[in-house]
A and B are shown apart, each in its own frame.
Chain A
Amino acid sequence: MTTATIRQLLERLTAKIDGPLIAIVLAICVLGLFTLYSAAFQAPARFGAQALYMLLALFLMWISAQVHPQTFMRIAVPVFFAVLLMLVGVALFGDVRNGARRWLPLGFASIQPSELMKLAMPLLLAAYFHRHAAALRFREFAIAFVILVIPTAMIARQPDLGTALLVAAAGFYVIFLAGLPWKVIAAGVTAVLASLPILWGVLHDYQRRRFLTLLDPSSDPLGAGYHIIQSTIAVGSGGITGKGWLEGTQTHLEFIPERATDFIFAVYSKEFGLLGATLLLVLYLALIMRGLMITANAPTFFTRLLAGSITLTFFTYAVVNMGMVSGLLPVVGVPLPFISYGGTSLITLSLGVGMLMSIQYHRALVQT
């Protein structure tokens, strides 16, 4: 094989990979691996596992970048209903782990269908609006909301509030970008605000308590509150430059629960300080801005909606997670994209990035 053919092969392999996106994702992944090495010093196996997950995720990203957007649209309906069916399966005979019924046993492995819903939901809604693009009226939006609410409610009942939140956000972004009238948005916000006192009166004591716990971590100081207080200390003690890599673990970090998964940002900002946190903010911002650019250039209604929703979902992940760890938002189980330990979210995120790449590559090819 000559160098020319190798170069040709490489070119063909990377033709559909978006340069800026892959660069940003790889940079975040590298930061993530460093942080995980420090955070998971008591469980070194996690580092190797995460590296393997990343390779798998990159491979899946590559595959989904090869798929034509038309195909995404074509498979939207069957994928959505397949995932919905799996959610029903979870509700009926799912495995219970850590008090929540989220896993569907498949014999050889278990999967979390709720995770797949994060992609299936925007796929279906984007395809739905695309089909009815000629005349989007109240009816279409109402139906879209019904489609949104059913799987969200099923996931929230598992219970898995973090995933339910992300699924709902992904769906809502599609509806918003499809042109949900501002009047409706304003009316919706007003109605919710106005009905809060009434709703509050109807709720049972325990439901109110649950709501308050969500809003106010101090109502469960040994659970959610403990997490927040320890992670806030960790972030604050990082200072401008941080304690330095592997230094955080020597002192305080053993008190941080879930420090390799949902609370990994506490480790990161303790060790790398405000500078590190700013770098990460910039990287996420770059990822999102690149996504929004792809969205703006996307050729069809379907691809615009899909790309916009995927991009804004990344945004939701990042803001909810960092907001939670720094004590701004309630504790909800949302991972930090490309950094938190765990294969499932890594794979969904990468599939999403792959879709963005596919949309970007095919922008000229479909344009009419």
Chain B
Amino acid sequence: MAELKNVRRELHYFQVRLGVAGALVLIAFAVLFGRFFYLQVIQHKYYDTKAEDNRISIVPIQPNRGLILDRNGVVLARNYSAYTLELTLSKIPDLQGTINALGKLVDISPRDRRRFQKLRDEGKGQDNLPLKTRLTDEEVAVLAANRYRFPGVDIKGRLFRQYPLGELASHVVGYISRIDDRDVEKIEDSDQAANYRGTDHIGKTGLEQSYETALHGTTGFEQVETDAGGRIVQRGTNVRPLAPRTPPVPGNNLALTLDIRLQEAAERAFGENRGALVAIEPATGGILAFVSKPGYDPNLFVDGIDPLNWDSLNNSPDHPLNNRALTGLYPPGSTFKPYMALAALELGKRTPTQTIFDPGYFLFGNNRFRDDKADGHGYVDMYKSIVVSCDTYYYKLADDLGIDNMARFIGQFGFGAKTGIDVEGEFVGVLPSPEWKVKRFKSTPAQQKWFPGETISIGIGQGYNSYTPLQLAQAVATLANDGVMYRPHFVDYVENPVTGERKYVEPQPIKTIPLKEKNLEFVKHAMVGVNKEGTGARAFAGAKYVSAGKTGTAQVVALKKDEKYSEANTAERLRDHALFIAFAPADDPKIALAVLVENAGFGARAAAPVARKVLDYYLLGQGVDRPAAPAPKLSDDDDGDD
């Protein structure tokens, strides 16, 4: 009986709930009916007019893209407005005929045609493409008068990106270009789809790409009424539930740590040479100069690049589109030696005063590892080993340290690891170790074994060693900063152009390498010696500040054992790369840099002078001409050994 009561009570509960649900249904339907009544009776006239007279459409209003400025406010990327001639493909039955007819009104160059064709080929989904950009006032007038003859042809005022300094710092700033199919996919995945409905361009490389979100801004929208032909007859129409007009929010400005005058001095110092330079402020990680030579004119890309220009850039043997500082991989050569010396001191494998005898080679088993100086440097201690860049000293040291110790200690300086810089596409490089080799030759196990002989040439920065110039600069900046490593970054602050609010990029210490002060001081002292009395002395003769440096030469082709390298008889592109790392002032470093000059031979001769000019410019504010006086010498060969 009680159970039956229970069942009945449960049924009652259920029916109460069902009643609640039924009431909800009725309320919801009443609301719907109310809404229909409101729209179809009360507001009927209003909507009927909207429906019958004109078509309402919603047009996006493109936000101003943020500017890019150097540390002193010099503009590196800006916008200007200009009229463009645009074709809506779906509304034009005879495209060639229309283009030819337009060509009779205004000048349409073969280049415009080629570019238009390329845009058509690349952007399959895009209906609206520019035929000619930057129309003159006369052209606008002629086209406007004749527009009625050309359905699907429009003159539109648009904002264009401009890079007023052209090639200068082109690899830093990058460029924007028209959105292609790949970008569309990325945008759809990024929740930005709504924000890009009015946008034709997007950052493709460099800061323009990496800071796309900050630079872009928020697209605004406006309701407009158009007539049957699609021409706007009224703006800011108000059809609920949307606002008649939502203004766009301009993108943020980027202020860089980069000094464009320093950058210019650095790029000029390269002359016609190919190469890279990265200069960092050691105490913050801020990038002061970032060179990859040759550069290119980013303005070529903005409106869609002409295929001829593209081919010449893309197929050039000089690879001007390669960002060498970020993605070029080079052996560090003798610029590796200060880190090797520091490893030896820290791990107790050498004392500064310990001396070896260099006969001009190091024997490892039956293998003879040559020193660059055929008859050897004689007795060499650690100071001299850095100053004259003695290979034999480091062959022997590498053997004593072993590959594991080397990789572990030197890896702390960021060699073979991404620096975390704030642009995309950075390469990792190779810090050689037995583990790396196992991974590298996964598919060919026979080659996985680490041979003790391979350790020897790693010690002088050759062999499998390969790093980006950015990594070399990061490492020397860390050394200059007593082992405290900062994340390198281009952007000092991001500025909201409306409120003026600035978001600073706080210097981010990545880590502090535990180093003994006296060891650090010794290695720095030896690097000062390089520029005072060693391989860098000629380049730094007469400098008005104390600098520390190290020269390096990186082999492009492996030489056969016992074969002496000769600059004159090697084809130019097989010649060695010249390297130089430096920081100054030595006792309180304001700038640390790495220079690489491709196929320029000895680092002392080709790379050190570039470093000198950059340091002079940064520390003295001018490009100082060097006095011709010869520097005091410790070694008898002023190019040293590197």
> Which residues of A are at the interface with B, using a C-beta cutoff of 8 A?
99, 173, 176-177, 179, 206-207, 209-210, 213, 217-223, 225-226, 228-230, 232-240, 251-252, 255, 269-270, 273-274, 277-278, 281, 284-285, 288-289, 292, 295-296, 304, 308, 312, 315, 319, 322-323, 326-328
- Chain A to chain B contacts (Cβ below 8 Å), 27 pairs: A177-B17, A179-B10, A206-B190, A218-B246, A221-B242, A222-B58, A223-B193, A225-B58, A229-B58, A230-B56, A233-B50, A233-B56, A236-B43, A236-B47, A237-B47, A237-B48, A237-B51, A252-B52, A252-B55, A269-B36, A274-B41, A281-B29, A289-B22, A315-B28, A323-B32, A326-B35, A327-B39
- Per-residue interface assignment for chain B, residues 262 to 306, with 1 indicating a CB less than 8 Å from any chain A CB and 0 otherwise: 000000000000000000000000000000000000000000000
CB <8 Å contact, B51 and A234 = yes
CB <8 Å contact, A292 and B22 = yes
Residue from the list A226, A230, A251 in contact with B52, Cβ < 8 A = A251
User: Closest approach, in angstroms, between the C-beta of A267 and any C-beta of chain B?
Assistant: 12
CB <8 Å contact, B47 and A222 = no
Closest partner residue, chain A, to B222 (CB atom): A221
CB <8 Å contact, B194 and A222 = yes
User: Closest approach, in angstroms, between the C-beta of B215 and any C-beta of chain A?
Assistant: 15
- Per-residue interface assignment for chain B, residues 14 to 58, with 1 indicating a CB less than 8 Å from any chain A CB and 0 otherwise: 110110011001101101110111011101101110111001111
Q: Within 8 Å of chain A (Cβ to Cβ): is B394?
A: no
Give the distance in Å from the alpha carbon of A232 to the alpha carbon of B48 in the complex: 11
Q: Within 8 Å of chain A (Cβ to Cβ): is B13?
A: yes
Residue from the list B39, B57, B243 in contact with A235, Cβ < 8 A = B39
- Between A237, A284, A304, the greatest number of chain B beta carbons within 10 A of the residue's beta carbon is seen for A237
User: Closest approach, in angstroms, between the C-beta of B371 and any C-beta of chain A?
Assistant: 58
Closest partner residue, chain A, to B49 (CB atom): A237
Q: A228-B241, A236-B44, A239-B48 are in contact. Are A328 and B17 (CB under 8 A)?
A: no
CB <8 Å contact, A232 and B221 = no
Residues of A within 8 A of B242 (CB): 217-218, 221, 225, 228-229
CB <8 Å contact, B44 and A177 = no
- Per-residue interface assignment for chain B, residues 428 to 454, with 1 indicating a CB less than 8 Å from any chain A CB and 0 otherwise: 000000000000000000000000000
Q: A177-B18, A269-B40 are in contact. Are A232 and B58 (CB under 8 A)?
A: no
Mostly, the B contact residues are helix
Give the distance in Å from the alpha carbon of A264 to the alpha carbon of B48 in the complex: 18
Which 5 A-B pairs have CB atoms at the shortest separation, nearest pair first?
A236-B47, A220-B194, A237-B51, A236-B39, A221-B221
CB <8 Å contact, A239 and B41 = yes
Give the distance in Å from the alpha carbon of A218 to the alpha carbon of B240 in the complex: 10
- A223-B197, A235-B36, A285-B25 given; name 15 further pairs at CB < 8 Å: A177-B14, A222-B58, A222-B197, A229-B241, A236-B44, A236-B50, A237-B52, A240-B41, A252-B51, A270-B51, A278-B36, A292-B21, A292-B25, A304-B14, A322-B32
Q: Within 8 Å of chain A (Cβ to Cβ): is B517?
A: no
- Per-residue interface assignment for chain B, residues 185 to 217, with 1 indicating a CB less than 8 Å from any chain A CB and 0 otherwise: 000101111100110000000000000000000
User: Closest approach, in angstroms, between the C-beta of B426 and any C-beta of chain A?
Assistant: 24
Residues of B within 8 A of A304 (CB): 14
CB <8 Å contact, A239 and B40 = yes
CB <8 Å contact, B21 and A308 = yes
CB <8 Å contact, B246 and A229 = no
User: Closest approach, in angstroms, between the C-beta of A58 and any C-beta of chain B?
Assistant: 25
CB <8 Å contact, B51 and A327 = no
Give the distance in Å from the alpha carbon of A59 to the alpha carbon of B125 in the complex: 42
Q: Within 8 Å of chain A (Cβ to Cβ): is B66?
A: no
Closest partner residue, chain A, to B189 (CB atom): A99
Residue from the list B21, B43, B44 in contact with A312, Cβ < 8 A = B21
Q: A218-B242, A292-B18 are in contact. Are A240 and B32 (CB under 8 A)?
A: no
Q: Within 8 Å of chain A (Cβ to Cβ): is B239?
A: yes
User: Closest approach, in angstroms, between the C-beta of B80 and any C-beta of chain A?
Assistant: 26
CB <8 Å contact, B40 and A273 = yes
Residue from the list A179, A229, A326 in contact with B36, Cβ < 8 A = A326
Give the distance in Å from the alpha carbon of A207 to the alpha carbon of B190 in the complex: 10
Q: Within 8 Å of chain A (Cβ to Cβ): is B250?
A: no
Closest partner residue, chain A, to B242 (CB atom): A218
Give the distance in Å from the alpha carbon of A270 to the alpha carbon of B39 in the complex: 11
Q: A177-B21, A232-B47, A288-B25 are in contact. Are A218 and B243 (CB under 8 A)?
A: yes
Residue from the list B46, B191, B239 in contact with A229, Cβ < 8 A = B239
Residues of A within 8 A of B41 (CB): 239-240, 274
Q: Within 8 Å of chain A (Cβ to Cβ): is B488?
A: no
CB <8 Å contact, A326 and B39 = yes
Give the distance in Å from the alpha carbon of A251 to the alpha carbon of B48 in the complex: 11
CB <8 Å contact, A328 and B31 = yes
User: Closest approach, in angstroms, between the C-beta of B67 and any C-beta of chain A?
Assistant: 22
Q: Within 8 Å of chain A (Cβ to Cβ): is B60?
A: yes
Residues of B within 8 A of A179 (CB): 10, 13-14, 17
User: Closest approach, in angstroms, between the C-beta of A19 and any C-beta of chain B?
Assistant: 21
Residues of A within 8 A of B241 (CB): 217-218, 228-229, 232, 327
CB <8 Å contact, A223 and B194 = yes
Q: A218-B241, A229-B58 are in contact. Are A308 and B18 (CB under 8 A)?
A: yes
User: Closest approach, in angstroms, between the C-beta of A181 and any C-beta of chain B?
Assistant: 11
- Between A173, A179, A232, A327, the greatest number of chain B beta carbons within 10 A of the residue's beta carbon is seen for A232
Residues of B within 8 A of A218 (CB): 221, 241-243, 246
Give the distance in Å from the alpha carbon of A34 to the alpha carbon of B259 in the complex: 71
Give the distance in Å from the alpha carbon of A296 to the alpha carbon of B43 in the complex: 40
Give the distance in Å from the alpha carbon of A239 to the alpha carbon of B49 in the complex: 12
Closest partner residue, chain B, to A328 (CB atom): B35
CB <8 Å contact, B28 and A233 = no
Residues of A within 8 A of B51 (CB): 233-234, 236-237, 251-252, 270
Q: A177-B17, A292-B21 are in contact. Are A222 and B221 (CB under 8 A)?
A: yes
CB <8 Å contact, A213 and B194 = yes
CB <8 Å contact, A222 and B60 = yes
User: Closest approach, in angstroms, between the C-beta of B7 and any C-beta of chain A?
Assistant: 10
User: Closest approach, in angstroms, between the C-beta of B189 and any C-beta of chain A?
Assistant: 9
Residues of B within 8 A of A222 (CB): 58, 60, 194, 197-198, 221
- Between B190, B198, B242, the greatest number of chain A beta carbons within 10 A of the residue's beta carbon is seen for B242
CB <8 Å contact, A326 and B58 = no
Residues of A within 8 A of B28 (CB): 315, 319
Give the distance in Å from the alpha carbon of A328 to the alpha carbon of B32 in the complex: 9
Residues of A within 8 A of B192 (CB): 206
